Amino acid sequence: MFSHERIIIRRGPESGLPIIVAVHSTALGTALGGCRLKAYPQWQDGLADALRLSAAMTDKCALAGLPNGGGKTVIALPTGATPDPGLRVAALHDAGSVIEELGGHYATGPDVGTGPDDMVTIGHRTNHVFCRPAGAGGSGDSSPGTAAGTVAALRAVCRARFGSTDPAGRSFAVVGLGRVGGRVARLLAESGAKLVVADVDPAKRSLADELGATWATPEEALTAAVDVLVPAALGGLLTPTSVAALRCAAVAGPANNQLDTPATADLLHNRDILWAPDYVVSAGGVISATAVELHHESPQQVTARLDAIADTLTEVFASAQRDGVTPSAAATAEARRRAG
């Protein structure tokens, strides 16, 4: 079904790179979604990513109770080439120009491949950008908010699956130790959890050592015998093949678009593995950025909003059980009810 309100695909006049801005829905308000700067085999793969990710942002904002819809920006780099700093700036300017043309229907923020400083660069062309560094008038890095929201979600998962919210003594496999995954691993370690951690970057092993975690390859961590698998890297890791090999009781993490197709949620359910919908778990970044930049809320108010992710997830699990459907189906139904 075609459901996107507007998709702009343009060869960036300053960079020559494909700039893709997908506005999925503005039914609840300005569409929000980060700017992803990533290499794709073909630019069409970047378009597919933008379409899926922007639709997920609609569900994310709706279930987070935000007056916002979903969108996404993708700057599709050719594979193998790392852009020189000049090309990167040009591409971010191109993205900013497209966003400016949308006149406030869409605002961006950081995502895979971009950070607060890049938001300053986008900000040269448009004001519809979140998460510039504090010194530049923004709320800065959104990953602490995403990580805190993820840990709140993990507590709700532990309660639903094991009867207690306490991560102490429970085992978690964190796949991906980037800006969000690294923080989640640290917070879990501080709570007394047992950790298996993995990253494609071998340099991340030092964090594993620091946290007293077991270092593994991403493939090993994915199928580790743990209580909870925490996907914290790129999406698409839950496939019919990988689900058949899982040895965990629950899957909950901040990676966007974890399921290869929606039907994989049924495979998890059939294996009695509790899957927390990623767009509920990962809402902390967009929740904290909007709370600080639009509502000027105090740190205590922001923390309360992030903790509420646990309540949302508990409601999703409860309605799934009540209606005899997967948490994915329950969450999607609730998002449709709110965002149309």
Residue positions annotated with a catalytic role: 72
Taking the complex as a whole, the smallest distance from the CB of residue 200 to ligand PHE amounts, in Å, to 19
Single out the residue of 263, 220, 275, 271 nearest to residue 239, CA to CA. 263
Is residue 49 at the binding interface for ligand PHE, with CB under 6 A as the rule?
A: no
Taking the complex as a whole, the smallest distance from the CB of residue 294 to ligand PHE amounts, in Å, to 10
Residue closer to ligand PHE (CB basis): 130 or 215: 130
Is residue 317 at the binding interface for ligand PHE, with CB under 6 A as the rule?
A: no
The Cα–Cα gap between 340 and 338 comes to 6
The values of phi and psi at residue 207, to 5°, are -65, -40
The Cα–Cα gap between 288 and 144 comes to 9
Residue closer to ligand PHE (CB basis): 37 or 173: 37
Window of 120-128, 278-286, 299-307, 325-333 that interacts with ligand PHE by CB under 6 A? 278-286
Residue closer to ligand PHE (CB basis): 50 or 286: 286
Is residue 150 at the binding interface for ligand PHE, with CB under 6 A as the rule?
A: no
Is residue 232 at the binding interface for ligand PHE, with CB under 6 A as the rule?
A: no
Is residue 131 at the binding interface for ligand PHE, with CB under 6 A as the rule?
A: yes
The half-sphere exposure of 284 on its side-chain side, counting CA atoms within 13 A, is 31
Buried b (16+ CB within 10 A) or exposed e, 62-78: bbbebebbbbbbbbbbe
- Member of 15, 256, 326, 328 binding ligand PHE (CB under 6 A): 256
Residue closer to ligand PHE (CB basis): 110 or 253: 110
Single out the residue of 187, 181, 186, 261 nearest to residue 229, CA to CA. 181
- The set of residues, in sequence order, having a beta carbon less than 8 Å from that of 65 and lying 6+ positions away, is 308, 312
Chain residues binding ligand PHE by CB under 6 A are 32-34, 109-111, 130-131, 142, 256, 282, 285-286, 289
